[in-house]
């Protein structure tokens, strides 16, 4: 399962259509770039961090992969997170927004998935459709009511070492599909995984743990 360490250093915000796996078995998995794709955990997933999870892959290259789980809200509210980093909100828009569990790596650090991308100190563009920002300035802007229109805040992320995600795909641990921002930002957390499955025409009730490849 996703590694507990990642080579890429991330700045802390706070202490507190068709299957891509729908590929011939002879296809070289190291040629697959899943940046901007959803990972849908298969029913056989036993890792408690990723069972029944939907993960957005934000970066995938020959050094590994990085993503955030997008359907695991926690009891921590954004208002509480802002207080922990000594930011006083002047805008109530996101105060009752739940902070999500983004993955088991660096769970004391914050990540903001958002759109539009905007201009922030440290932002990774995810195929131009999402921004993943790790600098505090985006939280300060949210508190002023000047932040991105759509956000999902996580603590922690999911990381894979070189070749690890490809190996898991070959073992049918995940289904993959190009991500759609409306699933992340317009649907409640419990509806995101079923909606991602529907992109593939997959009925969750009939999803088999051996359906990673067609």
What are the pLDDT digits (tens) for 68-124?
Answer: 999 999 999 998 999 898 998 777 777 789 999 999 999 999 999 999 998 999 999
CA angle 186, 177, 107 (to 5 degrees): 65
Is the C-alpha dihedral spanning 40, 42, 47, 48 positive or negative? positive
Which ranges of the chain would DSSP assign to H, the alpha helix? Answer: 78-84, 137-144, 164-170, 181-185, 189-199
Show the domains of the chain with their CATH numbers.
29-206 (3.40.1740.10)
Q: Rounded mean pLDDT of the chain?
A: 83
What pLDDT is recorded for position 19?
31
| Residue 45 or residue 29, greater confidence | 45
pTM: 0.82
pLDDT band with cut points at 50, 70 and 90 for residue 18: very low
Q: How many CA atoms are closer than 13 Å to the CA of 30, on its beta-carbon side?
A: 7
What pLDDT is recorded for position 70?
98
What pLDDT is recorded for position 207?
63
């Amino acid at each position: 399962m996703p590694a507990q360490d990642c080579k890429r250093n991330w700045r802390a915000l706070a202490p507190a259509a068709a299957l891509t796996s729908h590929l011939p078995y002879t296809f070289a998995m190291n040629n697959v770039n899943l940046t901007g794709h959803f990972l849908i955990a298969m029913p056989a997933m036993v890792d408690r961090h990723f069972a029944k999870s939907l993960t957005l892959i934000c970066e995938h290259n020959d050094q590994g992969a990085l993503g955030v789980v997008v359907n695991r809200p926690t009891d921590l509210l954004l208002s509480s997170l802002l207080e922990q980093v000594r930011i006083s909100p002047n805008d109530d828009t996101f105060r009752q927004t739940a902070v999500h569990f983004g993955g088991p790596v660096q769970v004391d650090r914050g990540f903001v998935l958002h759109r539009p991308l905007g201009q922030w100190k440290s932002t990774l563009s995810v195929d131009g459709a999402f921004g993943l920002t790790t600098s505090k300035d985006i939280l300060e802007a949210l508190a002023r009511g000047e932040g991105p229109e759509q956000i999902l805040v996580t603590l922690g992320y999911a990381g894979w070492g070189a070749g690890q995600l490809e190996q898991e795909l070959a073992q049918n641990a995940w289904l993959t599909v190009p991500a759609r921002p409306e699933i992340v930002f317009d649907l409640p957390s419990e509806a995101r995984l079923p909606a991602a499955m529907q992109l593939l025409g997959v009925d969750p009730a009939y999803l088999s743990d051996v359906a990673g490849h067609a």
